[in-house]
A = this chain, B = another copy of it.
Amino acid sequence: MRRAAYPYVQTIPTRWMDNDVYGHVNNVTYYSYFDTVINTWLIREGGLDIHAGGQIGLCAESHCRFLAPIEFPQIVQAGLRVEKLGRSSVRYGIGLFIEGGEAAVAEGWFVHVFVDRATRLAVPVGDAMRAALTRLL
């Protein structure tokens, strides 16, 4: 999918240590771009309080298809959308782009289950968070 398919796009510069021995950003690091764009949005738009909030999002499943290499010092743009919003879980779609490029270099998805911070049992997505997630559908 193209960048316009993602309602929220965040710029994430690569770091020196993102590159692995083959000279490109390691596959693992793509997932750190995923949870960075997701959590930035949850904090800024959905009111997630990572230190003291009563409900937090835990990753239940994730997936990535790697379409083209990224390499330091390129700048990544991570696009985020919501593919499915359930009672206590959400599935995001993420597309990674190189700054200035139109074709995605990776596409993935990521499932958050919202849980009570103390019990770690699933809870319904709170109202403010649900409103914010709905804007990405």
Measured CB to CB, the residues of A under 8 A from B are 11-13, 15-17, 19-23, 26-29, 31-36, 38-40, 43-44, 50-51, 56, 58-66, 72-73
Main SS class of interface, A: mixed
Distance to closest chain B CB from A4 (angstroms): 23
CB-CB nearest 7 A-B residue pairs: A27-B59, A19-B21, A28-B31, A15-B36, A63-B63, A16-B35, A16-B39
Select which of B15, B39, B72 is within 8 A of A73 by beta carbon: B39
Select which of B29, B51, B61 is within 8 A of A64 by beta carbon: B61
Inter-chain pairs besides A16-B26, A27-B59, A60-B65, 6 sampled, C-beta below 8 Å: A12-B15, A16-B40, A17-B35, A19-B50, A21-B23, A27-B31
Chain B residues within an 8 Å CB radius of A64: 61-63
A19 to B22, alpha carbons, bound, how many Å? 9
A107 to B40, alpha carbons, bound, how many Å? 26
Chain B residues within an 8 Å CB radius of A62: 27, 63-64, 66
Distance to closest chain B CB from A1 (angstroms): 16
